[in-house]
Copies of this chain bind each other. A is one copy, B any other.
Amino acid sequence: MKVAVFRKEHFNAAHRLYNPEWNDEKNKAVFGKCSNPNFHGHNYDLIVRLIGEVDKTTGYVYDMKKLSDLIKEKVTSQFDHKNLNLDVAHFKELNPTAENIAIVIYNLLRPEIEESIDLKVKLYETERNYVEYPAS
């Protein structure tokens, strides 16, 4: 049977929720204070889950040091202490909701991990609001 392994990382970023096809009034109506033009921010906690077979020689599904380095290289070094809307190309035309951020992170990591290993991303925007992709 397979084992799931989890690695938690974090980053701090600014963002605002905004749909450029809507006027300010509608953005305000839909996104409320999350649409503040000057941005607000969060301490994002990111948990990456891999599922795979345990390697007999190491007892590992995946080397957690290698996974941590991969997350730092592909995700947190790009997102940490950044403005997601202005500084991160993926959100130039994509609203940086927790849902969309999780999908972007998944898409950044998926090509880096062998296909036989299942990947899932959990992203905490706050302790009380968080998302998971793909949904199981």
Interface, chain A (partner B; CB < 8 A): 1-10, 12-15, 17, 19, 21-22, 30-34, 36, 38-43, 51, 54, 57-61, 63-65, 80-83, 86-87, 94-100, 102-103, 118, 126-136
Contact = CB atoms under 8 A, between A and B. Distances in A.
**Interface residues of A: mostly helix, strand, loop or mixed?**
mixed
Nearest to A21: B57
B41 A4 contact: no
9 contacts: A4-B135, A5-B99, A5-B130, A14-B41, A15-B41, A32-B65, A36-B82, A38-B83, A61-B131
B39 A6 contact: no
Protomer copies: 6
B42 A42 contact: yes
A38 B3 contact: no
A5 B97 CA distance: 11
